[in-house]
Amino acid sequence: MGSRHGDDIFVGENNWIPFADLEGTQSSATNIDFALASTSSFWKALETQCVSDCCGFDAFDFSREGIAAASHGWDSSALIAELEAIRSVVAAVSSRAVVSSMLNNYCEKNTFLKLIDHVVACVRRGA
């Protein structure tokens, strides 16, 4: 999504969530796939730019429009509750990094929390 932003997460309209350096943290990363399981179809619906196995976060459309399309068919209140539950689980993780095989990414816990906050805000705007 542009060399200036490197591994930052594109969230639409020239907005990016900075991707923090993970050097030395990957071996202690906490797997969060169990927390994402109930919303796996939502994450899969966001996977429109490529496949996560290839591109990790870059495979997902985290723009407001992409999130609105992926949340179609979900009860917005229920989806927000599920996403906030994921946020709570991730916030409680003691390690600095989290990993997801489903999303094919390691990232800093705070980076993932910012991503969840963005997704929740977009779902709320569309509600």
Q: Is residue 109 part of a domain?
A: yes
CA pair distance 125, 122, nearest whole angstrom:
5
Q: Is residue 16 part of a domain?
A: no
Residue 38's nearest CA partner among 78, 93, 77 is 78
Please compute the mean of the pLDDT values over residues 101-110 and round it to a whole number.
95
pLDDT surpassing 60 at residue 89: yes
> Which range of residues forms the domain containing residue 68?
3-10+32-126
Q: Is residue 73 part of a domain?
A: yes
Domains in the chain: how many in total? 1
Question: Model confidence over 10-68: pLDDT tens digits?
Answer: 999 889 999 988 888 888 999 999 999 999 999 999 999 999 999 999 999 999 999 99
